[in-house]
Structure 1
Amino acid sequence: MSNPSLRELTRNGLWKNNPALVQLLGLCPLLGVSNSAVNALGLALASMLVLTCSNIAVSLVRGVVNTAVRLPAFVMIIAALTTCIELLMQAFTYELYQILGIFIPLITTNCVILGRADGFAAKHNPLLAGYDGFIMGIGFGVVLVVLGALRELFGTGAVFANLDLLLGPIAADWQLTLVEDYKGFLLAILPPGAFIVLGLLIALKNRIDQQLAERATAAQPVATPAPSRRVRVTGAIE
Protein backbone atom coordinates (compact mmCIF):
# COMPACT_ATOMS: atom_id res chain seq x y z
CA MET A 1 0.00 0.00 0.00
CA SER A 2 1.47 3.35 -1.04
CA ASN A 3 1.70 6.01 1.63
CA PRO A 4 -0.26 9.21 0.99
CA SER A 5 1.65 12.49 0.95
CA LEU A 6 1.38 15.04 3.75
CA ARG A 7 -0.21 17.44 1.30
CA GLU A 8 -2.90 14.90 0.47
CA LEU A 9 -3.56 14.21 4.15
CA THR A 10 -3.82 17.94 4.84
CA ARG A 11 -6.26 18.50 2.01
CA ASN A 12 -8.39 15.55 3.08
CA GLY A 13 -8.50 16.51 6.74
CA LEU A 14 -9.22 20.19 6.29
CA TRP A 15 -11.49 20.16 3.25
CA LYS A 16 -11.96 17.27 0.85
CA ASN A 17 -12.74 14.60 3.47
CA ASN A 18 -13.49 16.79 6.48
CA PRO A 19 -14.96 14.57 9.23
CA ALA A 20 -17.71 17.07 10.12
CA LEU A 21 -18.72 18.53 6.74
CA VAL A 22 -18.16 15.52 4.46
CA GLN A 23 -18.16 12.33 6.53
CA LEU A 24 -20.73 13.76 8.99
CA LEU A 25 -19.09 11.96 11.91
CA GLY A 26 -19.11 13.07 15.53
CA LEU A 27 -22.37 14.97 15.15
CA CYS A 28 -23.44 14.34 18.75
CA PRO A 29 -20.72 16.51 20.34
CA LEU A 30 -20.64 18.79 17.30
CA LEU A 31 -24.27 19.78 17.77
CA GLY A 32 -24.54 19.40 21.53
CA VAL A 33 -21.58 21.49 22.68
CA SER A 34 -21.37 24.19 20.01
CA ASN A 35 -23.67 26.73 21.70
CA SER A 36 -20.65 28.93 22.45
CA ALA A 37 -17.14 29.38 21.12
CA VAL A 38 -15.35 28.52 24.38
CA ASN A 39 -17.26 25.24 24.77
CA ALA A 40 -16.51 24.33 21.17
CA LEU A 41 -12.83 25.23 21.52
CA GLY A 42 -12.46 23.17 24.69
CA LEU A 43 -13.97 20.06 23.14
CA ALA A 44 -12.05 20.63 19.89
CA LEU A 45 -8.69 20.65 21.70
CA ALA A 46 -9.59 17.58 23.74
CA SER A 47 -10.74 15.67 20.65
CA MET A 48 -7.64 16.65 18.68
CA LEU A 49 -5.28 15.46 21.43
CA VAL A 50 -7.08 12.13 21.80
CA LEU A 51 -7.23 11.65 18.03
CA THR A 52 -3.53 12.36 17.52
CA CYS A 53 -2.28 10.26 20.43
CA SER A 54 -4.64 7.35 19.72
CA ASN A 55 -3.54 7.20 16.08
CA ILE A 56 0.10 7.01 17.13
CA ALA A 57 -0.61 4.36 19.77
CA VAL A 58 -2.70 2.25 17.39
CA SER A 59 0.00 2.44 14.72
CA LEU A 60 2.64 1.29 17.22
CA VAL A 61 0.68 -1.79 18.32
CA ARG A 62 -0.87 -2.70 14.98
CA GLY A 63 1.61 -5.51 14.40
CA VAL A 64 1.09 -7.25 17.74
CA VAL A 65 -2.68 -7.02 18.18
CA ASN A 66 -4.67 -10.03 17.04
CA THR A 67 -7.35 -9.35 14.45
CA ALA A 68 -10.05 -10.85 16.67
CA VAL A 69 -9.47 -8.28 19.44
CA ARG A 70 -8.40 -5.36 17.26
CA LEU A 71 -11.43 -3.11 17.78
CA PRO A 72 -11.69 -3.73 21.56
CA ALA A 73 -7.98 -2.94 21.86
CA PHE A 74 -8.43 0.29 19.93
CA VAL A 75 -11.37 1.29 22.14
CA MET A 76 -9.30 0.61 25.27
CA ILE A 77 -6.50 2.83 23.95
CA ILE A 78 -8.95 5.64 23.14
CA ALA A 79 -10.69 5.27 26.50
CA ALA A 80 -7.38 5.47 28.39
CA LEU A 81 -6.37 8.64 26.55
CA THR A 82 -9.81 10.16 27.07
CA THR A 83 -9.51 9.51 30.80
CA CYS A 84 -6.15 11.30 30.82
CA ILE A 85 -7.67 14.33 29.09
CA GLU A 86 -10.62 14.24 31.47
CA LEU A 87 -8.32 14.28 34.51
CA LEU A 88 -6.29 17.15 33.05
CA MET A 89 -9.45 19.19 32.49
CA GLN A 90 -10.60 18.48 36.02
CA ALA A 91 -7.27 19.75 37.30
CA PHE A 92 -6.84 22.88 35.17
CA THR A 93 -10.22 23.84 33.66
CA TYR A 94 -12.70 22.44 36.16
CA GLU A 95 -15.54 24.87 35.44
CA LEU A 96 -15.33 24.21 31.71
CA TYR A 97 -15.19 20.49 32.42
CA GLN A 98 -18.45 20.77 34.37
CA ILE A 99 -20.08 22.68 31.51
CA LEU A 100 -19.04 20.12 28.89
CA GLY A 101 -20.22 17.34 31.17
CA ILE A 102 -20.85 13.96 29.56
CA PHE A 103 -19.40 15.03 26.20
CA ILE A 104 -15.83 14.61 27.48
CA PRO A 105 -16.18 10.89 28.34
CA LEU A 106 -18.13 10.43 25.09
CA ILE A 107 -14.96 11.23 23.15
CA THR A 108 -14.25 7.51 23.57
CA THR A 109 -17.15 6.65 21.28
CA ASN A 110 -16.56 9.45 18.79
CA CYS A 111 -16.81 7.88 15.34
CA VAL A 112 -14.11 10.20 13.99
CA ILE A 113 -11.50 8.83 16.40
CA LEU A 114 -12.40 5.16 16.08
CA GLY A 115 -12.78 5.47 12.31
CA ARG A 116 -9.31 6.96 11.82
CA ALA A 117 -7.77 4.42 14.18
CA ASP A 118 -9.19 1.47 12.28
CA GLY A 119 -9.22 2.97 8.80
CA PHE A 120 -5.84 4.69 8.70
CA ALA A 121 -3.61 4.31 11.77
CA ALA A 122 -3.82 0.51 11.72
CA LYS A 123 -2.36 0.50 8.19
CA HIS A 124 0.39 3.15 8.30
CA ASN A 125 3.50 4.09 10.24
CA PRO A 126 3.32 6.21 13.43
CA LEU A 127 4.49 9.40 11.72
CA LEU A 128 1.76 9.39 9.08
CA ALA A 129 -0.80 8.12 11.59
CA GLY A 130 0.01 10.92 14.03
CA TYR A 131 -0.17 13.57 11.34
CA ASP A 132 -3.44 12.18 10.02
CA GLY A 133 -4.92 12.28 13.52
CA PHE A 134 -3.66 15.82 14.07
CA ILE A 135 -4.97 17.20 10.78
CA MET A 136 -8.31 15.40 11.11
CA GLY A 137 -8.60 16.82 14.62
CA ILE A 138 -7.86 20.29 13.27
CA GLY A 139 -10.49 19.88 10.56
CA PHE A 140 -13.09 18.69 13.05
CA GLY A 141 -12.12 21.39 15.55
CA VAL A 142 -12.29 24.25 13.04
CA VAL A 143 -15.84 23.31 12.09
CA LEU A 144 -16.74 22.95 15.76
CA VAL A 145 -15.34 26.38 16.68
CA VAL A 146 -16.87 28.13 13.65
CA LEU A 147 -20.22 26.57 14.45
CA GLY A 148 -19.97 27.61 18.09
CA ALA A 149 -18.87 31.15 17.25
CA LEU A 150 -21.69 31.66 14.74
CA ARG A 151 -24.33 30.33 17.13
CA GLU A 152 -23.00 32.49 19.96
CA LEU A 153 -22.89 35.54 17.72
CA PHE A 154 -26.42 35.08 16.38
CA GLY A 155 -27.74 34.22 19.83
CA THR A 156 -26.08 36.87 21.99
CA GLY A 157 -24.50 39.43 19.68
CA ALA A 158 -21.05 38.67 21.13
CA VAL A 159 -18.40 36.01 20.72
CA PHE A 160 -15.66 34.45 22.88
CA ALA A 161 -17.47 35.07 26.15
CA ASN A 162 -16.08 33.26 29.22
CA LEU A 163 -12.87 32.41 27.41
CA ASP A 164 -11.11 32.61 30.76
CA LEU A 165 -12.66 29.22 31.62
CA LEU A 166 -10.22 27.68 29.15
CA LEU A 167 -7.26 30.08 28.97
CA GLY A 168 -7.29 31.50 32.47
CA PRO A 169 -7.64 35.07 33.84
CA ILE A 170 -5.59 36.53 30.99
CA ALA A 171 -8.51 35.94 28.63
CA ALA A 172 -11.18 37.44 30.88
CA ASP A 173 -11.51 40.56 28.70
CA TRP A 174 -11.25 38.89 25.32
CA GLN A 175 -14.99 38.91 24.64
CA LEU A 176 -15.92 40.63 21.39
CA THR A 177 -19.27 42.41 21.46
CA LEU A 178 -20.24 43.06 17.87
CA VAL A 179 -23.81 44.24 18.43
CA GLU A 180 -24.60 46.51 21.35
CA ASP A 181 -27.98 46.15 23.11
CA TYR A 182 -28.65 42.95 21.20
CA LYS A 183 -32.00 41.45 22.13
CA GLY A 184 -30.85 37.92 21.51
CA PHE A 185 -31.99 35.18 19.16
CA LEU A 186 -32.81 32.16 21.27
CA LEU A 187 -33.14 29.70 18.38
CA ALA A 188 -29.45 30.06 17.53
CA ILE A 189 -28.24 28.68 20.85
CA LEU A 190 -30.88 25.94 21.08
CA PRO A 191 -30.34 22.48 19.50
CA PRO A 192 -32.41 23.32 16.36
CA GLY A 193 -30.07 26.24 15.72
CA ALA A 194 -27.13 23.83 15.58
CA PHE A 195 -28.80 21.81 12.81
CA ILE A 196 -29.63 24.96 10.85
CA VAL A 197 -26.16 26.52 11.06
CA LEU A 198 -24.42 23.21 10.30
CA GLY A 199 -26.66 22.70 7.28
CA LEU A 200 -25.74 26.16 6.02
CA LEU A 201 -22.03 25.40 6.45
CA ILE A 202 -22.38 22.13 4.52
CA ALA A 203 -24.31 23.92 1.76
CA LEU A 204 -21.61 26.62 1.59
CA LYS A 205 -18.86 24.00 1.23
CA ASN A 206 -20.77 22.16 -1.49
CA ARG A 207 -21.30 25.43 -3.36
CA ILE A 208 -17.59 26.28 -3.18
CA ASP A 209 -16.69 22.79 -4.43
CA GLN A 210 -19.14 23.20 -7.32
CA GLN A 211 -17.67 26.55 -8.33
CA LEU A 212 -14.12 25.18 -8.16
CA ALA A 213 -15.12 22.24 -10.35
CA GLU A 214 -16.75 24.57 -12.88
CA ARG A 215 -13.65 26.78 -13.01
CA ALA A 216 -11.40 23.75 -13.47
CA THR A 217 -13.58 22.52 -16.32
CA ALA A 218 -13.63 25.95 -17.97
CA ALA A 219 -9.85 26.27 -17.69
CA GLN A 220 -9.19 23.05 -19.56
CA PRO A 221 -8.24 23.64 -23.20
CA VAL A 222 -10.83 22.57 -25.72
CA ALA A 223 -9.44 19.99 -28.11
CA THR A 224 -9.95 21.10 -31.72
CA PRO A 225 -10.50 18.33 -34.24
CA ALA A 226 -7.76 17.87 -36.78
CA PRO A 227 -8.67 19.07 -40.29
CA SER A 228 -9.81 16.23 -42.46
CA ARG A 229 -7.78 15.45 -45.52
CA ARG A 230 -9.50 14.53 -48.72
CA VAL A 231 -7.70 11.98 -50.85
CA ARG A 232 -8.41 12.23 -54.53
CA VAL A 233 -8.29 8.91 -56.30
CA THR A 234 -7.82 8.91 -60.01
CA GLY A 235 -7.95 5.94 -62.20
CA ALA A 236 -9.21 4.56 -65.45
CA ILE A 237 -11.97 2.02 -65.89
CA GLU A 238 -11.50 -0.34 -68.76
Structure 2
Amino acid sequence: MASARPPRGTAWCGGCGAYLAVPPGARSVRCALCRAVTRVERRGHHGGHGGALGFIKGLISAFAPPPPLTPSAGAAAAASYYPRVSGKKRALLVGISYAATGYELKGTVNDVNCMSFLLRERFAFPADCILVLTQENGDPYRVPTRANLLAAMRWLVEGCSAGDSLVLHFSGHGVQKLDVDGDEADGYDEALCPVDFERAGVILDDEI
Protein backbone atom coordinates (compact mmCIF):
# COMPACT_ATOMS: atom_id res chain seq x y z
CA MET A 1 0.00 0.00 0.00
CA ALA A 2 1.28 3.47 -0.83
CA SER A 3 2.43 5.61 2.09
CA ALA A 4 1.04 8.92 0.78
CA ARG A 5 -2.32 10.15 1.98
CA PRO A 6 -5.31 9.37 -0.23
CA PRO A 7 -7.19 12.35 -1.72
CA ARG A 8 -9.66 14.13 0.54
CA GLY A 9 -13.02 12.39 0.56
CA THR A 10 -11.42 8.95 0.19
CA ALA A 11 -9.50 6.44 2.27
CA TRP A 12 -7.50 3.31 1.69
CA CYS A 13 -9.13 0.07 2.77
CA GLY A 14 -7.30 -1.43 5.73
CA GLY A 15 -8.01 -4.89 4.37
CA CYS A 16 -7.21 -4.87 0.64
CA GLY A 17 -5.81 -1.38 0.04
CA ALA A 18 -8.53 -0.29 -2.40
CA TYR A 19 -9.67 3.33 -2.61
CA LEU A 20 -12.89 3.94 -0.66
CA ALA A 21 -15.29 6.85 -1.07
CA VAL A 22 -15.94 8.44 2.33
CA PRO A 23 -19.13 10.49 2.82
CA PRO A 24 -18.63 13.79 4.65
CA GLY A 25 -18.57 13.30 8.42
CA ALA A 26 -18.26 9.50 8.28
CA ARG A 27 -15.95 7.95 10.87
CA SER A 28 -15.69 4.54 9.22
CA VAL A 29 -16.50 2.91 5.91
CA ARG A 30 -16.86 -0.68 4.75
CA CYS A 31 -15.08 -1.93 1.63
CA ALA A 32 -17.37 -3.46 -1.00
CA LEU A 33 -14.55 -5.74 -2.17
CA CYS A 34 -13.22 -7.35 1.01
CA ARG A 35 -15.94 -6.08 3.43
CA ALA A 36 -13.34 -4.83 5.93
CA VAL A 37 -14.36 -1.80 8.02
CA THR A 38 -11.78 1.01 7.97
CA ARG A 39 -11.69 3.92 10.40
CA VAL A 40 -11.44 7.26 8.64
CA GLU A 41 -8.74 9.77 9.55
CA ARG A 42 -10.23 13.15 10.45
CA ARG A 43 -8.37 16.01 8.76
CA GLY A 44 -10.03 18.94 10.39
CA HIS A 45 -13.54 20.30 10.22
CA HIS A 46 -15.06 21.17 6.86
CA GLY A 47 -18.70 22.01 7.36
CA GLY A 48 -21.44 22.86 4.92
CA HIS A 49 -20.51 23.00 1.27
CA GLY A 50 -16.80 22.67 2.04
CA GLY A 51 -17.16 19.09 3.26
CA ALA A 52 -19.29 18.08 0.29
CA LEU A 53 -16.88 19.78 -2.11
CA GLY A 54 -13.94 17.92 -0.63
CA PHE A 55 -15.86 14.67 -0.93
CA ILE A 56 -16.62 15.28 -4.61
CA LYS A 57 -13.04 16.33 -5.37
CA GLY A 58 -11.78 13.20 -3.67
CA LEU A 59 -14.09 11.02 -5.74
CA ILE A 60 -12.95 12.66 -8.96
CA SER A 61 -9.30 12.22 -8.04
CA ALA A 62 -9.61 8.67 -6.77
CA PHE A 63 -11.78 7.22 -9.49
CA ALA A 64 -10.62 9.18 -12.52
CA PRO A 65 -9.61 6.92 -15.42
CA PRO A 66 -5.89 6.20 -15.74
CA PRO A 67 -3.88 8.29 -18.19
CA PRO A 68 -3.71 6.91 -21.72
CA LEU A 69 -0.83 4.58 -22.43
CA THR A 70 2.00 6.06 -24.42
CA PRO A 71 3.19 4.17 -27.51
CA SER A 72 6.34 3.17 -25.65
CA ALA A 73 4.30 1.36 -22.99
CA GLY A 74 3.42 -1.27 -25.56
CA ALA A 75 0.64 -3.80 -25.85
CA ALA A 76 1.88 -5.76 -22.83
CA ALA A 77 1.02 -2.89 -20.48
CA ALA A 78 -2.50 -2.62 -21.91
CA ALA A 79 -3.02 -6.35 -21.55
CA SER A 80 -1.98 -6.23 -17.90
CA TYR A 81 -4.32 -3.31 -17.14
CA TYR A 82 -7.54 -4.76 -18.58
CA PRO A 83 -9.07 -7.83 -16.90
CA ARG A 84 -8.62 -11.15 -18.65
CA VAL A 85 -11.91 -12.88 -19.47
CA SER A 86 -11.85 -16.63 -19.83
CA GLY A 87 -13.88 -19.61 -18.72
CA LYS A 88 -17.66 -19.84 -18.39
CA LYS A 89 -20.05 -16.94 -18.84
CA ARG A 90 -23.33 -16.67 -16.97
CA ALA A 91 -25.77 -13.81 -16.34
CA LEU A 92 -28.86 -13.20 -14.22
CA LEU A 93 -30.97 -10.27 -15.44
CA VAL A 94 -33.88 -9.10 -13.31
CA GLY A 95 -36.46 -6.47 -14.25
CA ILE A 96 -39.41 -5.75 -11.95
CA SER A 97 -42.16 -3.32 -12.92
CA TYR A 98 -44.31 -3.74 -9.77
CA ALA A 99 -47.32 -3.41 -12.07
CA ALA A 100 -50.66 -2.44 -10.53
CA THR A 101 -49.02 -1.14 -7.34
CA GLY A 102 -48.14 2.27 -6.00
CA TYR A 103 -44.45 1.51 -6.65
CA GLU A 104 -44.75 0.85 -10.40
CA LEU A 105 -41.63 1.42 -12.48
CA LYS A 106 -41.42 2.00 -16.21
CA GLY A 107 -38.66 0.64 -18.41
CA THR A 108 -37.34 -2.18 -16.24
CA VAL A 109 -38.12 -4.87 -18.81
CA ASN A 110 -36.50 -2.74 -21.50
CA ASP A 111 -33.41 -2.47 -19.26
CA VAL A 112 -33.20 -6.25 -19.14
CA ASN A 113 -33.69 -6.63 -22.89
CA CYS A 114 -30.95 -4.09 -23.59
CA MET A 115 -28.56 -5.76 -21.17
CA SER A 116 -29.25 -9.17 -22.70
CA PHE A 117 -28.54 -7.81 -26.17
CA LEU A 118 -25.31 -6.19 -24.97
CA LEU A 119 -24.05 -9.36 -23.30
CA ARG A 120 -24.84 -11.52 -26.33
CA GLU A 121 -23.70 -9.20 -29.10
CA ARG A 122 -20.79 -7.38 -27.47
CA PHE A 123 -19.46 -9.84 -24.91
CA ALA A 124 -20.39 -13.16 -26.57
CA PHE A 125 -22.50 -14.53 -23.73
CA PRO A 126 -24.39 -17.62 -24.95
CA ALA A 127 -28.15 -17.02 -24.94
CA ASP A 128 -28.75 -20.18 -22.92
CA CYS A 129 -26.44 -18.88 -20.19
CA ILE A 130 -28.56 -15.78 -19.58
CA LEU A 131 -31.40 -16.21 -17.09
CA VAL A 132 -34.08 -13.50 -17.25
CA LEU A 133 -36.65 -12.88 -14.51
CA THR A 134 -39.46 -10.41 -15.21
CA GLN A 135 -42.91 -9.89 -13.78
CA GLU A 136 -44.37 -10.33 -17.26
CA ASN A 137 -42.84 -13.79 -17.75
CA GLY A 138 -45.40 -16.56 -18.22
CA ASP A 139 -43.14 -19.15 -16.56
CA PRO A 140 -43.90 -19.06 -12.80
CA TYR A 141 -40.28 -19.97 -12.04
CA ARG A 142 -39.06 -16.93 -13.97
CA VAL A 143 -41.16 -14.36 -12.15
CA PRO A 144 -38.92 -12.35 -9.75
CA THR A 145 -40.45 -13.46 -6.47
CA ARG A 146 -38.27 -13.63 -3.40
CA ALA A 147 -37.96 -17.41 -3.61
CA ASN A 148 -37.17 -17.36 -7.33
CA LEU A 149 -34.59 -14.58 -6.95
CA LEU A 150 -32.71 -16.47 -4.25
CA ALA A 151 -32.79 -19.65 -6.32
CA ALA A 152 -31.58 -17.75 -9.39
CA MET A 153 -28.69 -16.22 -7.44
CA ARG A 154 -27.64 -19.69 -6.35
CA TRP A 155 -27.76 -20.77 -10.01
CA LEU A 156 -25.57 -17.82 -10.96
CA VAL A 157 -22.69 -18.83 -8.69
CA GLU A 158 -23.13 -22.60 -8.60
CA GLY A 159 -19.98 -24.33 -9.76
CA CYS A 160 -18.21 -21.08 -10.62
CA SER A 161 -14.43 -20.92 -10.55
CA ALA A 162 -11.59 -18.50 -11.22
CA GLY A 163 -11.83 -17.00 -14.70
CA ASP A 164 -15.62 -17.23 -14.99
CA SER A 165 -17.61 -14.14 -16.00
CA LEU A 166 -20.73 -13.68 -13.88
CA VAL A 167 -23.19 -10.80 -14.30
CA LEU A 168 -26.04 -9.82 -11.99
CA HIS A 169 -28.27 -7.01 -13.27
CA PHE A 170 -31.19 -5.82 -11.14
CA SER A 171 -33.63 -3.19 -12.37
CA GLY A 172 -36.12 -2.53 -9.59
CA HIS A 173 -36.56 -0.97 -6.18
CA GLY A 174 -34.02 -1.12 -3.37
CA VAL A 175 -34.28 -0.03 0.26
CA GLN A 176 -32.22 0.24 3.42
CA LYS A 177 -33.10 -1.70 6.57
CA LEU A 178 -31.79 -1.17 10.08
CA ASP A 179 -28.78 -3.44 10.63
CA VAL A 180 -29.35 -5.92 13.45
CA ASP A 181 -26.08 -7.89 13.43
CA GLY A 182 -23.60 -5.02 13.62
CA ASP A 183 -21.74 -5.66 10.35
CA GLU A 184 -22.66 -2.37 8.65
CA ALA A 185 -20.51 0.72 9.23
CA ASP A 186 -23.48 3.03 8.59
CA GLY A 187 -25.92 0.96 10.65
CA TYR A 188 -28.08 -0.08 7.70
CA ASP A 189 -28.36 -3.13 5.46
CA GLU A 190 -29.08 -2.63 1.77
CA ALA A 191 -31.90 -4.73 0.33
CA LEU A 192 -33.53 -5.66 -2.98
CA CYS A 193 -37.31 -5.60 -3.34
CA PRO A 194 -38.69 -8.65 -5.16
CA VAL A 195 -42.10 -8.40 -6.76
CA ASP A 196 -43.72 -9.97 -3.67
CA PHE A 197 -41.70 -8.04 -1.07
CA GLU A 198 -44.81 -6.81 0.75
CA ARG A 199 -45.78 -10.41 1.51
CA ALA A 200 -42.50 -12.34 1.45
CA GLY A 201 -40.06 -9.61 2.50
CA VAL A 202 -36.97 -8.03 0.96
CA ILE A 203 -33.62 -9.69 0.23
CA LEU A 204 -30.90 -8.28 2.50
CA ASP A 205 -27.32 -7.88 1.32
CA ASP A 206 -26.39 -10.43 4.02
CA GLU A 207 -28.33 -13.05 2.05
CA ILE A 208 -26.62 -12.43 -1.27
Normalising by the smaller structure, the TM-score range is: under 0.3
TM-score (norm 1): 0.23
Higher helix share goes to which structure?
Answer: 1
TM-score (norm 2): 0.25
